[in-house]
A and B are shown apart, each in its own frame.
Chain A
Amino acid sequence: MIEANGITKLYKIPHEKNVTLFETILGYVKNQFTYEDLYALKNVSFRVNKGEIVGLVGKNGSGKTTLLKILGGIIPQTKGEFHIEGTVAPLLGLSVGFHHELTAQENLYLYGAILGVPRKEIKENLDRIFEFAGVGKFKDMKIKNFSSGMIARLAFAAMVQTNPDVLLLDEIFAVGDKDFKPQCFSVFRDYKQRGKTIIFASHDLDAVAEHCERTLLLDKGELRAFGNTKDVIQQYLTL
């Protein structure tokens, strides 16, 4: 269950980029501190029930990733509050926790740790993860030698094993071959049956239409619609 109330994210974009201490002090002295307000999200409120797979669509820059980052606890919101029941796994990019110089197995320990899984549990699940991803042969090979598809499968497999209550997915199908998508969706269906909640941001409207009953539509940071997927997608296409 996810409940969001008035989520607002305001970025103050400085007109002059003050990155160094020197520039900042100089900026103060010359009184050059002008900013432009950018509302990445403006007063977004909605409620997702347990066991729902909800789509999140919108143009690039509409605030999808920002919303997921806020819900996932990665960045704080400027105003508003939200409440999520259960553990949350934000998956904002598939190979984010992976480090190139480590082997696949070492990366799984690290990835698992980042996702909050106890070490013992990761150890027990190792074989299952490799089998699910189909890369068992390469478990002692460095990630830098993996193909992007292999990494995608491995990351997805690892994420699945962590068994979160709520999954926040941000366009994870950009990388991944023809077999990857069906694999993901079978996991989604399984998750839904087990009462888990998923918010699934994507540009792949067919996938969204097929798997999500309801969909959120963001435009320029505002929630334009939240309801029946087919209708919302229609609205998105006419934006």
Chain B
Amino acid sequence: MQNLKNKLNLIYELSRLDFKLKYYGSVLGMLWSFLKPFMMLAILYVVFFYFFKVGIKNYEVYLLLGIIFWNFFADTTKDSAQGVTAKAQLLQKTNLPPLIVVASVIVHSLWTFLITLAIFFIFFFAIGLHLTWSILTLILLIPLLVILTAGVSLFIVPLHMRFKDFGHIWDIFLQMLFWVTPIIYQYTLIPEKYIRWYLLNPVARIIVDARNAVLYNFFPEPKQLLITSILVAIIFTIGLIIFKKHGRRLVEQL
């Protein structure tokens, strides 16, 4: 029990360290983390609403929610890898478990995500929209997102440790995944014959369900939610196994 408390304390301390380091000496500092999704929103909104004339109602909140969820996934996976490689010295000279480092990055990211989500809801109410009971689905969807992100992070961190250029590969993969996820458009745009494969993407599933819950007063079908949970569980398990098997060993190669 004490051991668990110690591990949690360590995760807390590492998150604090990352927090201080990230914002030390920058003018906007913490503000930048929260500004980023809004800047993305501005650009994408102008391009897709005005130029491409995507006719989705309340496009600002439609976009913003997707952006915020997506950013948590993308940024956390990138930061996990970066966090581990940055702590090479620490990992090679003390018995700090690499798993703790990844956990602290996820905690840090989650913190930012929740605050950004709060700002989203302020924006949401400010433009006159109303919440419905379906919002409660977020209680299931957010943990699913976190577990999914954790699983993917655990999977790619050993790859980053082994291959120095994996960062570039992951960046490109994220770029592609962004477009294959219905953030900017509705998934109904996808032709019938591809939709089954398209909807195997767990990030897409979570974002679609989240948007339905927040904007359209729509509870997800239990069967669909179950499929999402199974996908997330599989990804997380694979990630954890790979990380446990290779994580410590690869520390020597950092």
Contacts and interface: CB of A to CB of B under 8 A. Distances in A.
Contact of B9 (A92, A96, A118): A118
Contact of B93 (A92, A99, A109, A116): A92
B94 A97 contact: yes
A101 B248 contact: no
Interface string B1-29: 01101100110111001001100100000
A233 B165 CA distance: 47
Interface in B222-254: 248-249, 251-252
B95 interface: yes
A113 interface: yes
A72 B24 CA distance: 33
Contacts of A93: 93
Contact of B6 (A74, A88, A97, A113): A113
A75 interface: yes
A221 to B, nearest CB: 16
B163 A20 contact: yes
A101 B95 CA distance: 22
Contacts of A106: 20
A41 B67 CA distance: 51
B38 to A, nearest CB: 29
A99 B20 CA distance: 11
A113 B9 contact: yes
A148 interface: no
B169 interface: yes
A99 B252 contact: no
A22 B93 contact: no
A93 B94 CA distance: 9
A75 B252 contact: yes
Contacts of B2: 118
Contacts of B17: 99, 102, 110
B217 interface: no
A70 B12 CA distance: 27
Nearest to B166: A21
B95 A72 contact: yes
Interface residues of A, number: 29
A63 interface: no
A80 interface: no
Interface string B91-106: 0111110000000000
B165 A92 contact: no
Interface SS of chain B: helix
A119 interface: yes
A74 B251 CA distance: 9
B244 to A, nearest CB: 12
A65 B134 CA distance: 58
A208 to B, nearest CB: 22
A56 to B, nearest CB: 17
B195 interface: no
Interface in A90-127: 90, 92-93, 96-97, 99, 101-102, 106, 109-110, 113-119
Interface string A50-88: 000000000000000000000011111000000000001
Contacts of A110: 13-14, 17
A115 B100 CA distance: 13
Contacts of B13: 109-110, 113-114
A114 B166 contact: no
A72 B251 CA distance: 14
B165 A20 contact: yes
A19 interface: yes
B36 interface: no
Contacts of B14: 110, 113
A88 B95 CA distance: 10
B46 interface: no
A82 to B, nearest CB: 14
Contacts of A119: 9
Question: What 7 A-B pairs are tightest by C-beta distance, nearest first?
Answer: A20-B165, A113-B13, A73-B95, A96-B93, A21-B163, A113-B10, A92-B93
8 contacts: A19-B165, A20-B164, A106-B20, A113-B14, A114-B90, A115-B94, A118-B5, A118-B6
Given A90-B95, A92-B94, A114-B96, 11 more contacts: A21-B165, A21-B166, A75-B249, A76-B249, A93-B93, A97-B90, A109-B13, A113-B14, A114-B13, A117-B6, A118-B9
